[in-house]
Amino acid sequence: MEPEQLRVGIGYDIHPLASGRDLVLGGVRIDYIKGLSGHSDADVLTHALCDALLGALNRGDIGRHFPETEEYRNVSSIVLLEKVGRMVSDSGYRLVNADCIIIAEAPHLADMTSAMSEKISGALGTDPGRVSVKCTRGEGMGPVGEKRAMEARAVVLLASAG
């Protein structure tokens, strides 16, 4: 029997805050005075997770698979995550776990992390216990701390499905 293959991936994303946009993080709409600016829904959490999964597969980054074309304008990043999740399973892997963190000065997000984990795990067809979502602040420093942007990071572990 062949030993289990493990693969690790990391992902990062940052988007500026902008008026007139919905704030979507982990596929969850959040009531806030600003949203994130970008070609799609600019969901930094889901983008970072997509990049981590693609990195673990050695398949490039989110921009390579979902370029800034009309097809992906304002698309839900959860739809993109579902597609990346299919790439993972089609490549013979399964998600062992994902550890994600959102860095945002405001709004307070701790009460919404469970909903984000549920939405993400649903898109990936896995148990919510395999998807950790945490949040922290920029402590007043840099574009995040100055409430001009939000960023996210993600680390994933994949194992061969067989």
* pLDDT tens by residue, 135-149: 999 999 999 999 999
Residue 1 placed within a domain: no
The whole-number average pLDDT for the span 155-161 is: 95
Running DSSP on this structure, what letter comes out for residue 1?
A: -
Closest C-alpha to 41, from 100, 108, 119: 119
Residue 156 DSSP SS3:
strand
Residue 34 placed within a domain: yes
Which CATH number belongs to the domain containing residue 59 in this structure?
A: 3.30.1330.50
Q: What is the pLDDT of residues 51-61, one digit of tens each?
A: 999 999 999 99
Q: What is the pLDDT of residues 35-46, one digit of tens each?
A: 999 999 999 999
| Cβ atoms of 131 and 117 closer than 8 Å | yes
Name the CA radius of gyration of the chain, rounded. Answer: 15
Residue 10 placed within a domain: yes
The total domain count for the chain is 1
Q: Read off the amino acid at residue 64.
A: R
